[in-house]
Structure 1
């Protein structure tokens, strides 16, 4: 029997919603209460469940459609499994009854023929009967096993409990969500389950956390939950540190000329709505370096044993916020002037501090720059962001005496730290990249125009 599944009341005072995702396809076998579409309102995102089990005959909505309470979502061909099972049992019982009557008739006929014979013949019939019973039992066990296996397969292909957001992440990561065993309440699939499945792990994370002692035995303590930014950062850097063999290269560049350039042009950039900083100039110099050293603009694919060389230059800029470290992306940095980069970096840094970064602002980076010069320090070793292969760390510039033309002159020296993935980049490449960066910062006109 065909039935219509309609949009129920979504929430109090909400009559319309936007279809964000179709969770089933035509021809799918679905269970009662299984989510069939996901909808979004200005208040929340939720799944619309099926009110009956059956086969999806026709889907009446598409992603992006506006739907109202009472609108038809899909046409479902309802299946009465209980009736089918009852009919099967009835048929089995009738066949069994007929079989038993036939066997009884045969046995009665045989007994009449063998009645005058010795009693020992009765014992010869029992192995045959036992063999029949064993064959019948084995057949029933095999049939039952097949039914259980079929039910198990059906369950795994239909009963998937996950939120629309988790389903979207699974789709973006090219993960078959039906293959995942959920660790959430009532077997619900979480974002963590999807990401761990993508990494080839099932169930709990393979990362072994060291057990902590009870610190309260030595004095007063206070616990605070990690916010989402710090939690995500912690997972990402741990994964990067464990999967990427890091090598660190250090350098020191005389940026006295660049500091003068910033002083001479900062007012011009201010009027354009940006802020001329060393980070903007570093972004332009790094963008040029990535063309000269394309291996630093690549990623490693160990599964297929190949490197992925990117023809575009997108650079992550680390931004310190009250909630934690964020690394938004400057897209096509090689195609922009220093003034344009200054304006864009100022804008995206403010968006990061205001927690207004979009998903697109955070994706697609090829190389990262982390500038801690405004805070202080002499050198540090930043962790490469997977799936990138390198990151440049910048510390605070200090005035040092530099021997030039037989004299010592006060110069502003900038400490640089380059971290890179040794699976793809060897020491010679790392040293060459750092040397070019130092020379480019000391003579940016030649580097950028050469």
Structure 2
């Protein structure tokens, strides 16, 4: 049964009462960011709700200072009992039959902001960022392109979630322009390596889990307890310069081909909101080692889409439709593996899934796969073609779970490519 809020929520909205994702926003006339929750086309200011004393549960009644911070990190560090209490309180306050906020016109005016009148900020202070490589279809396609079908996926891939350590300083919020990077690429014949703007700019359709409570240095998180260390998910575009990446990645992996920009969506959808859409993950063969063996391995049925809009155009082309359920390694396995050597995770850390490709041609999660490294250009709605991204191209990722009469969504994760510096 669809839940009802006193705030009008369109049936196609990503932000009904069943969702209530957390973010950080700034009203147009204010200098400071503060935590908020999305409901329909509005943002609920949690600092005003806290100031009114409406977080009255046993955990948050004396700890509501977490909602007066410029990031969600303090709130995340409090753990799942606090997250659930906050969510239940907010859900009740926004319900159609609850008068506390509904009938208080002064508080409503102070605490509910139209989304088009606020600026969204990074929801967390990201101390560390790790990007995994957890889609079997993506791994197989990339391996086939560069090594041939006989050696497409390395043997270790089926035993552990492979990852690289990314650059936290260049994580940006949706809507931020991305400047085309410069770097070295493969030499041709006996010439020196090419240096200049990347000629193979790419998007990567990903999601990322946001670490809630971390673990102490020298300890590890049990895979069957990892769920309680994940606050929720965001959409993520791990922009890639494929030519720079191909020249530099051996033997130590991605560096300048990745570190120039990573875009995330502003709203963190909690695991509680996603739980009704849990689904089984693909069968893992061979069975994972005991420290990665879960009592139940699950993904989520999140429908994902990528749209591309050329410079000066109003029409977008849908270039990818995929699903989070295509991941081979689960988010909880990723987190458990990350900590098995004693590595400490902290609240706000970002763990990317890697490109989420599916089994069908229209479900491939990046231009590298969609165009087979530029050999089969895409034709867009306006008749133009793309082997890789051109200056002025805008890429938008979206994702949602479909319930009966409602959607639990993530909004949008977008960015536009600007020319490289002269």
Is TM-score (shorter-chain normalized) higher than 0.5?
A: no
Higher relative contact order (CA 8 A, sep 6+): 2
With the length of structure 2 as denominator, give the TM-score of the two structures: 0.22
Which is greater in Rg? 1
TM-score by length of 1: 0.21
